[in-house]
Amino acid sequence: MAKNKTTETIASVSDFVNAVKDPVKKSDSIQVIELMQSVSGFEAKMWGPSIVGFGSYHYVYESGREGDMPIIAFSPRTTGLVFYLSINPENRDKYLSELGKHKTDKGCITVKKLEDIKMPVLKKMIQDSLKHRKSLHSK
């Protein structure tokens, strides 16, 4: 079975964020880290070379593949800030309609910069994602 590419590393989150060349993206990343840490209570950790994650959960698929993933995460990419959230499907469309300028792809939500979105809505999405992930993996 293939080894998971996205695993928690000991790399420095500060070094990663400080290496972000775009000053707005760097500043936004620092703001997102502060928000995700305060809402989740988890310390920021690097997952793979470019994802900043908070907390972790263990999953097992029916195929037998298993691993660990961050409960919530984001990555400053060239296209913008990519959020990896597991929002309750019942709430997802409502939050996205209120968020502001964004794009979605599979389980990701991408925003060019934080000034394009409503931060209180992002905070609610993070809270929902934490609660939803806990409900899925506390059984």
Per residue in 7-45, pLDDT tens? 888 999 999 999 999 999 999 999 999 999 999 999 999
Domain that holds residue 18: 13-134
**pTM, entire model:** 0.91
Is residue 2 situated within a structural domain? Answer: no
What would the mean pLDDT of 60-70 be, rounded to a whole number? Answer: 82
Is residue 7 situated within a structural domain? Answer: no
Is residue 70 situated within a structural domain? Answer: yes
Q: Structurally, how many domains does the chain consist of?
A: 1
Is residue 105 situated within a structural domain? Answer: yes
Is residue 20 situated within a structural domain? Answer: yes
The distance from CA 135 to its chain's CA centroid, rounded to whole angstroms, is 18
Is residue 121 situated within a structural domain? Answer: yes
User: Is the pLDDT assigned to residue 64 strictly greater than 90?
Assistant: no
Is residue 63 situated within a structural domain? Answer: yes
From the list 43, 95, 103, the residue with the least C-alpha distance to 71 is 43
One DSSP character per residue, the chain reads: -PPPS--B----HHHHHHT--SHHHHHHHHHHHHHHHHHH-PPEEEETTTEEEES-EEEE-TTS-EEEE-SEEEEEETTEEEEE----HHHHHHHHHHHBS-EEETTEEEES-GGGB-HHHHHHHHHHHHHHHHHHH--
Is residue 1 situated within a structural domain? Answer: no
Supply the pLDDT for residue 4: 67
User: Is the pLDDT assigned to residue 104 strictly greater than 80?
Assistant: yes
Residue 139's pLDDT band (cuts 50, 70, 90): very low
CATH number at residue 33: 3.90.1150.200
